[in-house]
Amino acid sequence: MKRARIAAAAFSLFVVGLGGAASLAGAKEQTLKELMGENFAGLQQILISLITSNYSGVPAQVKLIHEHATALTQMVPANAQADRDRFLSYAYELRTHADDLDAISRALMEHDKGKELLASDSLREAAAAHYGGMVTMCVACHNRFRPTTVRR
């Protein structure tokens, strides 16, 4: 009797899990679009921070982009399955640029507080280069894997 209840409970969890997986698969494209929208908004905020030399908002934005890039590695869209490795390389490269920009922005914040003596001009240029690298990864991935051309 006890085994029957355990088996019934396990079966119920399995069926619920299948239902959840099915709904997750249906929401996959929407979730991907949400990630892209948040990344785009984050990139705009990072650009403003870089231009104004106010780096305090950069770590939060690059952390979000890092997390989204990690999520992208788990949600390769159907139209990218044939070239999955390239899609993943774009996501990993995006994450690497985000991590590097995070480290640089933190060093620049410390420098601007007067706590560290750094070649700040070089770091500012490196921050801009990593920002550009993130944008380049986005454009490359969209050019390769966007299912349709965006028309205005």
Nearest to 144 by CA among 95, 97, 96, 87: 87
Asked, for residue 9, whether it belongs to a domain, the answer is: no
pLDDT for position 39: 87
For residue 36, the SS3 value is helix
Asked, for residue 7, whether it belongs to a domain, the answer is: no
Question: Which pTM was predicted?
Answer: 0.73
Asked, for residue 150, whether it belongs to a domain, the answer is: no
pLDDT in tens, 16-28: 333 333 333 443 4
- The whole domain housing 132 covers 28-145
Structure token pair of residue 150? 């965006």
Which among 77-81, 90-94, 106-110 has the top mean pLDDT?
90-94
Q: Measured between alpha carbons, how far is 140 from 152 in angstroms, rounded to an integer? A: 20
- pLDDT: which is higher, 91 or 4: 91
Cβ contact 112:53 at 8 Å? yes
Domain count, the chain: 1
Average pLDDT score over residue span 68-85: 92
DSSP-derived secondary structure letter, 148: S
Question: HEC string of 11-28?
Answer: HHHHHHHHHHHHHHHHCH
Average pLDDT score over residue span 93-122: 85
pLDDT for position 115: 64
Asked, for residue 116, whether it belongs to a domain, the answer is: yes
Q: Measured between alpha carbons, how far is 108 from 114 in angstroms, rounded to an integer? A: 10
pLDDT for position 151: 67
Residues 6+ positions from 135 with CB-CB distance below 8 Å: 43
Count, in order, helices (H) and strands (E) of the chain: 5, 0
CATH number at residue 132: 1.20.120
